[in-house]
Structures are given as C-alpha cells and as structure tokens.
Amino acid sequence: MADTDMPGPLAGRDGVRVQRVCSTLLITIDRPRTRNTLTAAVAAGLATALAALEADTGLRAGVLTGAKGNFSAGTDLEVPPTGASPTLPGRGFAALAEARAGRTKPLIAAVEGLALGGGLELALACDLIVAADDATFGPPETGSGPYAAGGGAIGPPRRGPRHLAPEFPPTGGPVGGAAARRLGLADRVTGPGEAVAVAIGIAEWLARGAPLAPSEVRKLVRAADDLPRA
C-alpha cells in the first residue's frame, strides 16, 4: 500500500501529521513525548486535516490515530489554565465533538495504547473504532473541568448497550480493547500494533463501493444515533 506525506502546510502541522494511503487520509496526532495529549494547536491541526479530507475528491475516508503506540492521553494538563482550550467554536472539543453532522466521509479511529479522557472522547467522535486488544480506554478526568466540560462522559452510554453502560464511566476504571468491544465502544479488535493497518483496510474496502455509499451509510448511522432510546 503506497503512502505519501501530504505536501504543504498539512505536513506536520501543529502536532498533527497527515499522509495519503491510497484513497484514505491517515491523520496522526504526533506528540509522542506527551502521549499525544491534546492542545489548541492540535485541535487546529485536526480541523485543517478534516477540511482537506472533505475537499479532496480522491479521498474516500479518514483514519485517525496517535504516534508511537498511544492514541491520546487526553487534554494536555500541563497547559496553564489561562491557555487556549482544545475546543474550537462550532466544532467542539478537538475539532470533532460537535462536527460529526458536518462530515460526509467516514472517519475511523485506530486506537493503540491509551485513549484516556479527551482521547476517549476523540475516539467516540469517530464513526468506527478499531482497537488493539492491549489498548486502554478510560475517563481519568471524570468530575474535572476538561473532561466534564467536553461532554465525554455521555459518549460511552450512547455507543454501548444500555445495560452495560453503567459499568463505564461511573467507575472511572479503564477497560482494555476486548472489554471495549463487549461494551460496544469498539467495533473491531486487533492484535497489538495492527489497529492502523486494519482501519486502513476497512477504509479501502469502503472506497471500493459506489462513490456515494460511504457518505449515505454514514447519514443512516448518524440518524440512528439521534433517535431516542428506550
């Protein structure tokens, strides 16, 4: 599978690295020293990458992941309280939380290692989640400003079965990839180090269908998400 770095301002912008892999845009949060924590600069970089995905007719889907073995450990708590938040007006937390309705192309989270707090919310804002079986999902910021304000605590019950949802976030305890699949948080579980390759495989499988099929399926899934649940 050939892959190329995107030219110009998308290459390594604001801690976000972007590559074209066939008809898939691979978006990588590239702050490995902080386990890919999220900042205002990262949110801006993600917004730019998602705009490129939407604008390029040769791209059919996106895969979102983190560099060097972690998806994202959440909001960068080292940023001073007076610093810019990783929330963009009209797009929400990390440019994704409130932007799902405006996207037309599927976005798949490929989760290796940690997806904690805001990182969990970021994964839940994607359309599908592929998780390595040694991944860790958890809301360590439960009750604190960044996580509670971001709305992440309502994500797991929305994705997962209602009778299992109470297990995840009130306990605050992390769950692994296999447990996330049982809870309905992850859609596919892979071996360690395989999540990105499997996610790209799914994206390319979607690309082989009719040109409008992925966006139409996405609309149906979004409509189902918005239906009231008993």
Domains of the chain: 3-225 (3.90.226.10)
Catalytic-residue membership of 167: no
Catalytic residue among 78, 98, 112, 121: 121
Of 165, 144, 141, 164, residue with least CA distance to 154 = 165
Catalytic-residue membership of 121: yes
Residue 201: how many CB atoms within 10 A of its CB?
18
Please give the pLDDT value at position 56.
95
Q: What is the pLDDT along the chain (230 residues), one digit of tens a residue?
A: 455 555 444 555 579 999 999 999 999 999 999 999 999 899 999 999 999 999 999 999 999 999 999 999 998 877 655 456 777 776 767 677 665 556 889 999 999 999 998 899 899 889 999 999 999 998 755 444 444 334 444 344 445 443 344 445 455 568 899 988 888 889 999 999 999 999 999 999 988 875 555 555 555 555 555 555 44
Please give the pLDDT value at position 166.
45
pTM comes to 0.78
Catalytic residue among 78, 141, 167, 204: 141
**Sequence-separated (6 or more) residues with CB below 8 Å from residue 117:** 73, 74, 75, 138, 139, 140, 141, 146, 147, 152
